[in-house]
Amino acid sequence: MHEFERQFIIYYAQRMSKEENNKSLNFIEAMIEKDIKDNTYNGRVHLRFPPEPNGYLHIGHAKSICLNFGLAEKYGGKCNLRFDDTNPVKEEVEYVDAIKEDIHWLGFDWEDREYYASDYFGQLYEWAVLLIHKGKAYVDESSADEVAAHRGSPTKPGRESEYRNRSVKENLDLFERMKKGEFPDGSKVLRAKIDMASPNMHMRDPVMYRIKHAFHHRTGNKWCIYPMYDFAHGQSDFVENITHSLCTLEFEVHRPLYDWFLDNIIDDPEVNRRRTHQTEFARLNLNYTVMSKRMLLQLVNEKHVTGWDDPRMPTIAGLRRRGYTPDSIRNFADKVGVAKRENTIDVGLLEHCIREDLNKKARRVMGVINPLKVTIKNYPEDQEEYLDAINNPEDDSAGTRKVPFSQTLYIEQEDFMEDPPKKFFRLSPGREVRLRYAYFITCEEAVKNEKGEVTELICTYDPASRGGNSPDGRKVKATLHWVSGRHALESEIRLYDRLFNEENPYQCEEGKTFLSNLNPDSLIIAKGFVEPFLKKDAQPFRNYQFERLGYFCVDKESIGDKLVFNRTVTLRDNWAKISQQK
Ligand code: ATP
Ligand code: MG
C-alpha cells in the first residue's frame, strides 16, 4: 500500500467517525422510515439473513448480518435467520452450526426464528402444482445442454422448447411422477412458462425444479426433486412475512422473476400490495482478499490454509481466531455503510478498526519475537526484583502488574546494531537506552559466534534509574521492550500477513489461477519469549498488545505449558512503512 492510500484510509476513517453522531440516513433506512410513515406494512419491520449452508460465513456476510440485524434493532423490528438449503449436494450440518455460532458471536440473535427453506418444500411443491394448473409451468425433457443452447443470448431471443405446450393434465402427471422418483437425475425439469424472448435472460422459462436423488441434511430422503434457489427465495420471504428483503446487487435482475412467481401465486390484491419488497445493495469487496465461497472452499480443500478458521481466512471464524473482536467487525460494517454501486474497500480500513478497538481494550505485555541475549554484568547473578508495569495506558481501571527483572534478559534482535546508521537510536556499542519500566542500560560489548553473528550483548545498568526514570536528567533516545530470561515463557508466535500479494487476487496471468497470487510469506512461525504473567492469564482468544510489536491473541492450540500466539495486526501499517523506506 502506498503512503497516500494509508493517509486516505485514516482520513476516511476519521471522517466517518465524526459523521457517526450526525449521520444522515442511508437509502435503505430512508426507505424503511418511509414505509413506517406510510404504514405500508402496518408499521412492521421484518428482515432476514438468508445464508446458504454451503460454506463458512465471511466478512461480506458479516456486513449483511450487521445490516439486517442492525436495522431490525434500530427500528424495533425482527430479523429471521433462514437457511437457503435448496441444494442438498453442497450443504452440510457443519456449516449450519458454524453459521449460527458466528452470528451469535457477532452479537446478534434470531430468537426462535430459525427457519429453513426446506421447511417450505411442501408449500413450494403445492405452488408449483398451482402454476401448472394455471398453465404457467411445464415439464421439459430436453437435456441440460439443449436447455442451455435454446436460451439464446442477451441480444438473441431464445427458442421455445418442443415440450412447452403440453397439456396441463400431462404436466401434472409428469411432475407428480418426478416427485415419486420415477425418473433419473437430469432427465426432466419443471420450468416456468414466461417468455423465451424476454430481454431479461432470467425470464426465459427458468427452471423451477430439478431431479436430484440426494440425501438432504434436514428432509432426508423424502424428496428427490428440489426447488431452484430462485423458486424458493421470494416465496420463503413471503411465507415469513418479511417486509424488507435485502439482497446484493446481482439479484436485481432476478427481482422480476421473484415478482412474477408471487404475482401468479397470490390472488388477493391486498395481500399482494403488502408483500415483501426486495432491495439491492452493493456487496462488500476487500482488496488483497477473495470472498467467493468456491475459492475459499478450494483454499481449504487443497490445504493452502489449515481450515475454514485459519487466521488468514476472511471468514468470521478465521478473523475471530486471528484476534478480531465482534465490536471491530460491527464497527467496520458501519463505517463501510451501504452503497448502490460496486466498490472495493481497502483491507487497511478493517485493520484500522481492530487497532482502534484493541488499543482501548487490550492489556499491554512484553514479549520478544527474535530474542537477543543481554547480560547485565554489574547486576548480581542471584538477584531478581519485580518492577511495576502499566496494564493499559488507555484504561486506568486496568491497573498495574509486576514484571520480573534479572541479570539475563532478552531484547529484540532488531533493536541492536553494531554499526548503526545516523537515524538508529536504539542499542549499539557504547550507547545507553531505557528498558521499559526497568533501568537505563549501556552496551559495553557485542559477543559474536564463529560466523561473526552477534549472539549476546554485555551491558551495564544504572541502579539509580529504577523504574526507567532518568536519575540526573540525562536523556536516552530509545525505550526497548524486554523479558527476563530466567522467568520468560518460551512460546510459538505465528506472524500472519496478507494471504494474497495482489491487490486484486482474482486477476491473474493467462493459464494461472488466483492461487498464483498467494503470498508465500503469509505465515512465519517464530519461537519467542513472553513475560511470565501470561502463564495463567493467556486463555484462548484473549487479546494482548505486545509492546512495540503489535496486537496478538492466544490461539486455540495453546494448551497447558504450550503457549501459541497469533499476530492479529502490527501496531502501525507495516506496508506503508515499507513503501516509505523505499
Ligand atoms: P455464493 O453465491 O458463493 O453461494 P453468497 O456469498 O451469495 O455465496 P449466501 O450464503 O447466499 O452466499 O449469502 C447469504 C447472504 O449474504 C445473502 O443475502 C448475500 O446477499 C449476502 N452476502 C454474501 N456475500 C456478501 C458480500 N460480499 N457483501 C455483502 N453481503 C453479502
Ligand atoms: Mg448466494
Cβ within 8 Å of residue 264, ≥6 positions away: 131, 134, 136
Specify whether the backbone of 278 is left (phi greater than 0), alpha (psi in -120 to 50) or beta. Answer: beta
Residue 328: enclosing H or E segment and its boundaries? helix 326-336
Using CA atoms, how far apart are residues 255 and 186, in angstroms rounded to an integer?
Answer: 26
Give the per-residue SS3 of 286-314: ECCCCCCHHHHHHHHHCCCCCCCCCCCCC
Distances from the Cα of 193 to the Cα of 26, 98, 133, 144, angstroms: 38, 39, 12, 17
Could you tell me if 234 and 350 lie in one domain?
yes
Using CA atoms, how far apart are residues 329 and 347, in angstroms rounded to an integer?
Answer: 12
Whether 240 maps to a domain, the answer reads yes
User: Count of H helices and E strands in the chain?
Assistant: 16, 27
Residue 33: count of CB within 10 angstroms of its CB: 13
CA of 52 to the centre of ligand 2 (A): 6
Closest ligand by atom to 83 CA: 1
Could you tell me if 92 and 12 lie in one domain?
yes
Evaluate whether 381 touches 449 at the Cβ level (below 8 Å).
no
Grid cell in block for residue 304: 493452502
Of ligand 1's listed atoms, the one at least distance from the Cα of 53 is 10
Whether 42 maps to a domain, the answer reads yes
Q: Which pLDDT value is given to residue 14?
A: 55
Whether 486 maps to a domain, the answer reads no
Cβ within 8 Å of residue 342, ≥6 positions away: 249, 282, 283, 285
CA of 293 to the centre of ligand 1 (A): 9
Could you tell me if 411 and 440 lie in one domain?
yes
Confirm or reject: Cβ of 517 under 6 Å from ligand 1. Answer: no
Closest ligand by atom to 66 CA: 1
Residue nearest to atom 25 of ligand 1 (CA): 60
Confirm or reject: Cβ of 283 under 6 Å from ligand 1. Answer: yes
Residue nearest to atom 14 of ligand 1 (CA): 51
Distances from the Cα of 422 to the Cα of 137, 415, 428, 507, 509, angstroms: 80, 14, 12, 42, 43
Evaluate whether 344 touches 287 at the Cβ level (below 8 Å).
yes
pLDDT digits (tens, 9 = 90+) for 219-239: 999 999 999 999 999 999 999
Using CA atoms, how far apart are residues 549 and 318, in angstroms rounded to an integer?
Answer: 21
pLDDT digits (tens, 9 = 90+) for 151-182: 999 999 999 999 999 999 999 999 999 999 99
Residue nearest to atom 8 of ligand 1 (CA): 293
Of ligand 1's listed atoms, the one at least distance from the Cα of 283 is 28
Q: Which domain holds residue 190?
A: 122-227
Using CA atoms, how far apart are residues 483 and 571, in angstroms rounded to an integer?
Answer: 19
Using CA atoms, how far apart are residues 223 and 175, in angstroms rounded to an integer?
Answer: 13
Strands 454-461 and 440-448: antiparallel
Could you tell me if 351 and 236 lie in one domain?
yes
Grid cell in block for residue 449: 559466534
Using CA atoms, how far apart are residues 335 and 527, in angstroms rounded to an integer?
Answer: 37
Residue nearest to atom 29 of ligand 1 (CA): 283
CA of 72 to the centre of ligand 2 (A): 21
Could you tell me if 172 and 112 lie in one domain?
no
Residue to probe by mutation, ligand 1, list 52, 58, 103, 258, most atoms within 8 Å of CB: 52
CA of 29 to the centre of ligand 1 (A): 20
Evaluate whether 566 touches 557 at the Cβ level (below 8 Å).
no
Could you tell me if 141 and 92 lie in one domain?
no
Q: Which pLDDT value is given to residue 580?
A: 42
Q: Which pLDDT value is given to residue 559?
A: 86
Residue to probe by mutation, ligand 1, list 47, 58, 61, most atoms within 8 Å of CB: 61
What pairs with residue 248 in β-bridges?
A: 281
Confirm or reject: Cβ of 171 under 6 Å from ligand 1. Answer: no
Closest ligand by atom to 57 CA: 1
Q: Where are the beta strands (DSSP E) in 61-205?
A: 78-83, 114-116, 137-140, 189-192
Whether 82 maps to a domain, the answer reads yes
Whether 243 maps to a domain, the answer reads yes
Rg (CA), the chain: 31
Per-residue pLDDT of the chain (582 residues; tens, 9 = 90+): 555 555 555 555 555 555 555 568 999 999 999 999 999 999 999 999 999 999 999 999 999 999 999 999 999 999 999 999 999 988 889 999 999 999 999 999 999 999 999 999 999 999 999 999 999 999 999 998 999 999 999 999 999 999 999 999 999 999 999 999 999 999 999 999 999 999 999 999 999 999 999 999 999 999 999 999 999 999 999 999 999 999 999 999 999 999 999 999 999 998 988 899 999 999 999 999 999 999 999 999 999 999 999 999 999 999 999 999 999 999 999 999 999 999 999 999 999 999 999 999 999 999 999 999 999 999 999 999 999 999 999 999 999 999 999 999 999 999 999 999 999 999 999 999 999 999 999 999 999 999 999 999 999 999 999 999 999 999 999 999 999 999 999 999 999 999 999 999 999 999 999 999 999 999 999 999 999 999 999 999 999 999 999 999 999 999 888 999 999 999 986 554 444 433
Q: Is the dihedral of CA 194, 195, 200, 201 positive or negative?
A: positive
State the Cα angle at 59 between 346 and 580, rounded to 5°: 25
Grid cell in block for residue 116: 429453513
Could you tell me if 100 and 54 lie in one domain?
yes
CATH at residue 25: 3.40.50.620
Helix axis angle, 27-38 relative to 59-74, nearest 10°? 30
Evaluate whether 291 touches 508 at the Cβ level (below 8 Å).
no
Q: Which of 173, 206, 227 is the last residue of a domain?
A: 227
Whether 582 maps to a domain, the answer reads no
Nearest in space to 347 (alpha carbons), one of 57, 60, 55:
60
Q: Which pLDDT value is given to residue 13?
A: 56
Nearest in space to 297 (alpha carbons), one of 105, 91, 140, 446:
91
CA of 84 to the centre of ligand 2 (A): 9
Q: How many Å from the N-terminal Cα to the C-terminal Cα in the chain?
A: 12
Could you tell me if 110 and 235 lie in one domain?
yes
CA of 54 to the centre of ligand 2 (A): 9
Confirm or reject: Cβ of 63 under 6 Å from ligand 1. Answer: yes
Residue nearest to atom 26 of ligand 1 (CA): 60
Residue nearest to atom 22 of ligand 1 (CA): 61
Confirm or reject: Cβ of 53 under 6 Å from ligand 1. Answer: no
SS3 content of the chain, % helix, strand, coil (to 5): 35, 25, 40
Confirm or reject: Cβ of 55 under 6 Å from ligand 1. Answer: no
Could you tell me if 106 and 244 lie in one domain?
yes
Q: Which of 481, 506, 535 is the last residue of a domain?
A: 481
Could you tell me if 223 and 239 lie in one domain?
no
Residue to probe by mutation, ligand 1, list 87, 92, 248, 249, most atoms within 8 Å of CB: 248
Closest ligand by atom to 242 CA: 1
CA of 248 to the centre of ligand 1 (A): 7
Evaluate whether 64 touches 72 at the Cβ level (below 8 Å).
no
Evaluate whether 244 touches 237 at the Cβ level (below 8 Å).
no
Q: Which of 227, 250, 271 is the last residue of a domain?
A: 227
Confirm or reject: Cβ of 64 under 6 Å from ligand 1. Answer: yes
Using CA atoms, how far apart are residues 467 and 529, in angstroms rounded to an integer?
Answer: 21
Q: Which residues of 132-157 are buried (b: 16+ CB within 10 A; e: fewer)?
A: beeebbbbbebeeeebeebbeeeeee
What pairs with residue 362 in β-bridges?
A: none
Whether 21 maps to a domain, the answer reads yes
Whether 516 maps to a domain, the answer reads no
Confirm or reject: Cβ of 61 under 6 Å from ligand 1. Answer: yes
Could you tell me if 288 and 426 lie in one domain?
no
CATH at residue 178: 3.90.800.10
Grid cell in block for residue 394: 488507555
Return the active site residues. 52, 283, 293
Closest ligand by atom to 291 CA: 1
CA of 229 to the centre of ligand 2 (A): 9
DSSP 244: E
Burial (CB count within 10 angstroms: exposed 0-12, middle 13-18, buried 19+), residue 475: exposed
How far does CA 307 lie from the centroid of its chain? 14
* DSSP string covering 10-27: HHHHHHHHHHHTTPPPPH
Could you tell me if 205 and 90 lie in one domain?
no
DSSP 536: H
CA of 62 to the centre of ligand 2 (A): 14
Nearest in space to 244 (alpha carbons), one of 52, 110, 37, 68:
68
Domains identified in the chain, total number: 3
